[in-house]
A and B are shown apart, each in its own frame.
Chain A
Amino acid sequence: MNSTLGRAPLYLPLAVALALLALFAVLFDNGALLAPFFGDASYAANYLHELFHDGRHLLAAPCH
């Protein structure tokens, strides 16, 4: 039990954080994630929103 607890900090929070980030990007992002790279264009063009648009609808995210 101790050995698993000792190893856990390495990948557990990382896996959860990555999974949440992916879920946010696919379902809810409206420009914030790419803003550091594209600045205001990220919000105006809304790249991730447009790319994931169909999946977003079919996965039941509230209509935007």
Chain B
Amino acid sequence: MTLVYLRRGILAGLLAGLLAGLFGFAFGEPVLDEAVALEEGSHAGGEHTEEVFGRGQQKAGLFLAMGLYGAAVGCVFGLLSAYFRGRVSARSEWVRSMGLAAAIFAGAVLSPFLKYPPNPPGVGTDPETLAARTAAYLAMVALSLLALFFAWRLARQLEGFAAYARHLLVGAFVLVAWALLSAVLPDAGSAGDAPAGLVWSFRLSSLGTQAVLWVVIGCVFGVLGERAEAREGRGVSNLAAEGGSR
């Protein structure tokens, strides 16, 4: 079953990556072009580095990057689905898939986005601090995901509680965890004197691209799961068959 989920995840991820690439091409590239032009303008007169790939090739590279990224996260998504199958109370493949996609989007995209918003080319660039900024960003991604994992564990511990009490407690846990992470990790660098409108458009297009990616992964993986279930005619009873809640 793990292998089936793995294949399904890679397929969903590949498709999601290409659709997210289309979104990025339509809404992100105009902003990137503007930022690159601005960046080159500010370098004018200084040292001019020979570009390995032109802008046109980099736009083709966008689809390559998104496809590869989609397949990679889809692979992880499939393995996580195999892990959570039988461990979550979600009734159907569809609900489980959308729930997992939403959780990963919240932990790996939304939370780091709020703490370390992405910047267009030429903004907040300092090679000296790249390693530190990358480490802080990855820590935010990993710890946010971990916090959500613990929130899920907590929700399972509180199964005897009324729904409102469980939701409030788990919600409070998530908020406190996020506030703690945000306070402990180093501050995001300044965007300097880059045009605010440009930075804002770029960040929106970046968030949109990633939202498309995760919505499509959740949808495709969920639909493929539902269709396979229907074909096998096993319906909802797989939870019990798999050994149920542990």
Residues of A within 8 A of B (CB): 4, 8, 11-12, 15-16, 18-20, 22-23, 25-28, 45-47, 50-64
Contact = CB atoms under 8 A, between A and B. Distances in A.
B61 A22 contact: no
Interface of B: 1-3, 6, 21, 24, 28-29, 32, 51-53, 57-59, 61-62, 64-66, 68-69, 71-73, 75-76, 79, 109, 112-113, 116, 118-121, 123-125, 127, 130, 133-134, 136-137, 202, 205-206, 209-210
B65 A63 contact: no
Given A4-B2, A11-B3, A46-B52, A63 B68 contact: no
Given A12-B79, A22-B68, A55-B24, 12 more contacts: A18-B75, A23-B72, A46-B52, A51-B58, A55-B61, A55-B62, A57-B28, A59-B65, A59-B69, A59-B206, A63-B124, A64-B125
B66 A62 contact: no
Contacts of A16: 75-76, 79
A46 B133 CA distance: 19
B65 A12 contact: no
Contact of B112 (A8, A56, A60): A60
Given A52-B64, A54-B62, A59 B210 contact: yes
A57 B130 contact: no
B3 A25 contact: no
A20 B29 CA distance: 26
18 contacts: A4-B1, A4-B2, A26-B68, A26-B72, A28-B134, A51-B52, A51-B61, A51-B65, A52-B65, A53-B53, A54-B61, A55-B24, A59-B69, A59-B206, A59-B210, A60-B137, A60-B206, A61-B134
A54 B32 contact: yes
Contacts of B133: 62-63
A58 to B, nearest CB: 5
A53 B6 contact: no
Contacts of A51: 52-53, 57-58, 61, 64-65
B137 to A, nearest CB: 5
A46 B53 CA distance: 10
A31 to B, nearest CB: 11
B140 to A, nearest CB: 10
B69 A55 contact: yes
